[in-house]
Amino acid sequence: MSVTAGRDAAGRLDRASLLARLRATDVWDVVVIGGGATGLGCAVDASSRGHRTLLLEAHDFAKGTSSRATKLIHGGVRYLAQGNLPLVHEALAERSRLLANAPHLVRKLRFIVPAYHWLDIPKFGAGLAFYDLLSGMHGIGHSRVLDAASTVVALPTLRPGGLRGGIAYWDAQFDDARLALALMRTHVDLGGLALNYLAVDGLVVEDGQVNGVLAHDAETGETFRIAAGVVVNATGVWADAIRRAELPQVRPLLKPSQGVHVVVDAEFLPGRDALLVPQTADGRVLFVIPWQGRVLIGTTDSPRRDLPLEPQPLAGEIDFILDAVAPYLVRPPSRADIRSVFVGLRPLIGAGDRSATRSLSREHCIEVSPGGLVTITGGKWTTYRRMAEETVDTAQSVAGLSRRPCVTAELRLHGAEAGPSSDPYGSARAAVDALPGAGRPVHAGLRLTEAEVRYAARCELARGVEDVLARRHRALFLDAAGAAAAAPQVARLLAEELGKDAAWCEAEVGRFGALARQYARPEEE
């Protein structure tokens, strides 16, 4: 196996070879801290321009916010209502690019906004017609007015009493964690190096300039002093902590909030269309979305001062979601119907802003510190590529690198095929199914096969049970109890692939079981 690439002809990623390449490289052009949407996007952009690029993630890729989104690639109908037209236009353009560049992970999805008052039809219809207009050449389907009967056909469990009709419009849906993995593999395909469980402990500051990072391998404890032309801080809600590593008294950029999602069975919203609740009690919108055989409902927007790696719902958040959707469904879900609850933290720009987090900007911010640390934060999944483009443009200037143009607008991601596909592996499916256990589920009720677990270990840098059941496959987010039941078999397969023993399996199953209980049906508040 080539130490330079850290991968073989079959696409296998060997961690030992990746670490050997890290040790053998004296200086990187770009070091990116953070393996979420923004960091991975920056790494792909930099490596696609030909810069020697290293990405470091303290935990697993997309462990934090980037695996806990509402699974939508969208312009943002709420941002339209706020009058933020530039953000909407930019997001709609990026939506179009993602549909083209990752057709195996992003697909069109129709949304229905029900109208229970006659005035709702012209109000919602006009707004969504303007949404179509803003999309211009990037449009993916026209909105249209539905009568009451057609609205119920689209959403069979919608409460029919008093229904006047509905407005249908189009946006897109994706699998956030799988898209993050596709970005990681694309970065590697382009010659970059990405390592999870390689935590940054500090910055190397010499003569007032940030010239690299100090890091350690979470698995072995080995330490590294890594030199860089420029360091990009793309750590999301933890960005201020990295900024303080250079300047301890620096004023924070962020005012984080959290969003809670609940997952229930498909019977609560059968069919292929999604429901948009146009206004909740706090003035937001709520989505009820079919996703991987379940229904996802969310989200909330609550300020959060602490930044736990595994945030939990705050008091009242789950009831807020259930209460908001209840008036729209014939049989609304209750706590007893919840399969999983997951929570994501948002890196909102607005430190010191006393307004509610729902009014803070979803736009992004790029800051260059006095020592040359480039921090990118804010934004959302839909605009990750554009954020990365602007960040790498800035990083090139800071480091004095060759001014090479961005090429990612038309860069197809790892696994992309000629057209849309329902298979998240896309063109890599043949490689997956060539492994032992193809077509053999690891547990009844899960689509995950033994071959997919092996592929996760060999080609996607999965290092433990959680990596597989939370992000390479979405079992933890779809059915926490089912995921826990599958953990022993997943641990056994990973142990074979990673050379681990029975004690490791037992510890992994125990750790994952404790995590799954946090995602499982919540107790009454």
166/269 same-domain check: yes
pLDDT value at residue 393: 97
59/184 same-domain check: yes
Is 156 inside a domain boundary? yes
Domain containing residue 465: 435-519
pLDDT value at residue 453: 98
263/243 same-domain check: no
261/155 same-domain check: yes
pLDDT tens digits, 479-490: 999 999 999 999
Strand partners, 56: 33, 195
Is 428 inside a domain boundary? no
Residues 143 and 141: their CA atoms lie apart, in Å, by: 7
35/94 same-domain check: no
| CATH code of the domain covering residue 20 | 3.50.50.60
226/213 same-domain check: yes
Evaluate the omega torsion of the peptide bond into residue 394 and state whether it is cis, within 30 degrees of 0: no
**489, amino acid identity:** Q
Is 304 inside a domain boundary? yes
364/462 same-domain check: no
Residues 268 and 379: their CA atoms lie apart, in Å, by: 31
201/229 same-domain check: yes
CB 60 within 8 A of CB 196: yes
80/159 same-domain check: yes
Residues 297 and 332: their CA atoms lie apart, in Å, by: 11
pLDDT tens digits, 292-318: 999 999 999 999 989 999 999 999 999
Q: How far is CA 471 from CA 237, 268, 319, 460, 475, in A?
A: 19, 25, 27, 10, 8
Q: How far is CA 194 from CA 176, 185, 381, in A?
A: 18, 9, 20
316/451 same-domain check: no
Evaluate the omega torsion of the peptide bond into residue 299 and state whether it is cis, within 30 degrees of 0: yes
DSSP state of 499: T
Number of domains present in the structure of the chain: 3
Residues 159 and 59: their CA atoms lie apart, in Å, by: 44
Strand partners, 377: 365
Tokens of 161: 């009493």
Residues 157 and 165: their CA atoms lie apart, in Å, by: 14
pLDDT value at residue 87: 85
Residues 178 and 182: their CA atoms lie apart, in Å, by: 6
Strand partners, 302: 258
Tokens of 244: 């303080």
Which residue positions in the chain have pLDDT lower than 50?
1-5, 352-361, 524-525
The candidate with the shortest Cα–Cα distance to 357, out of 257, 225, 286, is 257
pLDDT value at residue 421: 73
Is 396 inside a domain boundary? yes
165/276 same-domain check: yes
Is 524 inside a domain boundary? no
Residues 394 and 42: their CA atoms lie apart, in Å, by: 11
Is 164 inside a domain boundary? yes
Q: How far is CA 521 from CA 25, 119, 209, 239, 481, in A?
A: 47, 39, 49, 32, 9
Residues 427 and 340: their CA atoms lie apart, in Å, by: 30
149/266 same-domain check: yes
Is 415 inside a domain boundary? no
Tokens of 217: 């391998």
3-state secondary structure of 377: strand
Is 419 inside a domain boundary? no
pLDDT value at residue 308: 96
Residue ending a domain, among 304, 334, 352, is 352
Residues 351 and 254: their CA atoms lie apart, in Å, by: 5
Residues 195 and 222: their CA atoms lie apart, in Å, by: 14
pLDDT value at residue 360: 43
